[in-house]
Amino acid sequence: MAVCRSWFLLLTVVSAAHAEIKFNLPAGKFFSYELMRETFQSDFESLSQLYLGRLYDDPMVFKCNLQYFPDLPEWLRFTQRHPFDNGFLYGTPMSTGKSVIEIYAVNKRSYETTRQILVLNVIAAKSPSYQAEFFIKLREIEKVLPPAVQDEIKQDLQKLWDTEALDIVNISNALDRGGRVPLPLAGHFEGVYVKVGSEQKFSGCLLQVQAPEYQRQCATGAKVKVPGECNFCSIPSNCISWCSTELFDLTQMAPSPPAPTLGSGVLEAGEDFEPPKSPEDRDFLPDYLVTIIVPLVVALVLCLLLTYIMCGRREGVDKRNEKTNQIQLYHHHTILDNTDELRSMADHRGVPPPLSTLPMFDSRTGAQATPSDSPRMPLIMAQHDPNVDTMPRK
Ligand SMILES: *[C@@H]1O[C@H](CO)[C@@H](O)[C@H](O)[C@H]1NC(C)=O
């Protein structure tokens, strides 16, 4: 109930102003925050529209990141199944400190964006000594994250653990832990891991998980039912898989080695700093010869060769070809002379030139315009058009 009330309070704060939303989170405890589409919808619409009661139901996508960074902190995950669903930020912080999360909502109808700031202040807290992880096969992460569903699952586990003092430590998608994407068919789900913790010792029911008979049955891969007296699941989709249950007794675990102590970073007085010896000098001459001189010589040789081919071996200059050239020149002159001769002969023929050489020859009728008109005639006739008489009338 307290959770519900705080959620309601939170919502009113969000819709009232664009203020930063602050959370104080104990380290090692599960945190989830639902990005309500309705809240962002009211940001996209003017107040007058709100009062008229016409609220659109726009598809929205969210982009979340740590302020001034491209991505979320390592422990925080974001999920949203569909633009018409709410989004969720969830995860379990382990180290203390403050994180400022920026949430951008993009309205996929109008492409407007709006921003929300989430300030997460992680405070130190002790991890519960006894922890247990359960696998819920018939669930998907988005269906488990709404606080009401988390409460349902927690209530079942409280009965199984036989204690009220139970906290959710982690909820994670089975796909993030090597699970397979299920077939897109009804009755196939991704699965969700829920880890809870308590200071209370494991109950008899929980300890049965480690009983040899169940260990043996589970090892064969058979479907093992939750023992009758321990079956507390009230909603079928929240039922746990008995064989995937794991218990962690943190009191039995070896304490992690202490972190290395960091010095001040300043050398103690009296000690002289000895810089490391610089490496021996390198001889760069061979490198220089190979990379600069050799290509240069090759380029020069090629250049000279090209010069010789282009200039030294021109046909007209080569002595051996002189004779051939003279013959070619002679040939050329004879052709020119012959042409001239033919032209002068044609001039004196006294025969009218062929019709086709005259400018006004009509290829279809054979008619020929009288040369006396020629000054007024265009050199090239327009295409003959039966409707337009282009011939000048006398
Ligand atoms: C919670 O689960 C995720 C996914 O398996 C894992 O990466 C993360 O370390 C877990 N956090 C804690 C505190 O166990």
Output the CA 31–ligand 1 centroid distance in Å.
12
How many domains does the structure of the chain reveal? 2
Output the CA 212–ligand 1 centroid distance in Å.
28
Residues 171 and 212 in one domain: yes
Output the CA 45–ligand 1 centroid distance in Å.
38
Residues 71 and 155 in one domain: no
User: How far is it, in rounded angstroms, from Cα 377 to Cα 391?
Assistant: 9
Output the CA 172–ligand 1 centroid distance in Å.
7
Residues 154 and 195 in one domain: yes
- pLDDT tens track of the chain, all 394 residues? 444 444 444 444 444 445 689 999 999 999 999 999 888 888 887 666 666 666 678 899 999 999 999 999 999 999 999 999 999 999 999 999 999 999 999 999 889 999 999 999 999 999 899 999 999 999 999 999 999 999 999 999 999 999 999 999 999 999 999 888 988 888 899 999 999 999 999 999 899 888 888 888 888 887 888 888 888 888 889 999 999 899 999 888 777 778 888 878 777 777 777 888 888 888 899 999 999 999 999 999 999 999 999 888 765 555 566 677 778 888 888 899 999 999 888 777 666 666 666 666 666 766 666 555 445 555 555 555 555 454 444 4
**Residue 41: which CATH number?**
2.60.40.10
Is residue 92 assigned to a domain? yes
| Residue 28 CA, closest ligand 1 atom number | 13
Residues 21 and 96 in one domain: yes
Is residue 275 assigned to a domain? no
Output the CA 62–ligand 1 centroid distance in Å.
23
| Residue 195 CA, closest ligand 1 atom number | 14
Is-above-0.95 flag for pTM? no
Output the CA 129–ligand 1 centroid distance in Å.
17
Residues 193 and 135 in one domain: yes
Q: Which residue's CA is the closest to the ligand 1 atom numbered 14?
A: 170
Residues 147 and 191 in one domain: yes
- Cβ of 131 closer than 6 Å to ligand 1, yes or no, is no
- Cβ of 302 closer than 6 Å to ligand 1, yes or no, is no
Is residue 63 assigned to a domain? yes
Report pLDDT for 268: 75
Residues 148 and 222 in one domain: yes
Is residue 245 assigned to a domain? yes
Q: Which residue's CA is the closest to the ligand 1 atom numbered 9?
A: 75
Report pLDDT for 393: 47
Q: Which residue's CA is the closest to the ligand 1 atom numbered 1?
A: 170
Pocket test of ligand 1: the residue of 29, 75, 141, 194 to mutate, having most ligand atoms within 8 Å of its CB, is 75
Residues 177 and 138 in one domain: yes
Output the CA 250–ligand 1 centroid distance in Å.
16
Residues 73 and 176 in one domain: no
Domain boundary among 82, 101, 123: 123
Residues 134 and 114 in one domain: no
| Residue 177 CA, closest ligand 1 atom number | 5
Report pLDDT for 136: 94
Domain extent, residue 39, equals 16-123
Residues 114 and 148 in one domain: no
Domain boundary among 106, 123, 140: 123
Is residue 372 assigned to a domain? no
Output the CA 28–ligand 1 centroid distance in Å.
10
Residues 162 and 203 in one domain: yes
Domain boundary among 68, 101, 123: 123
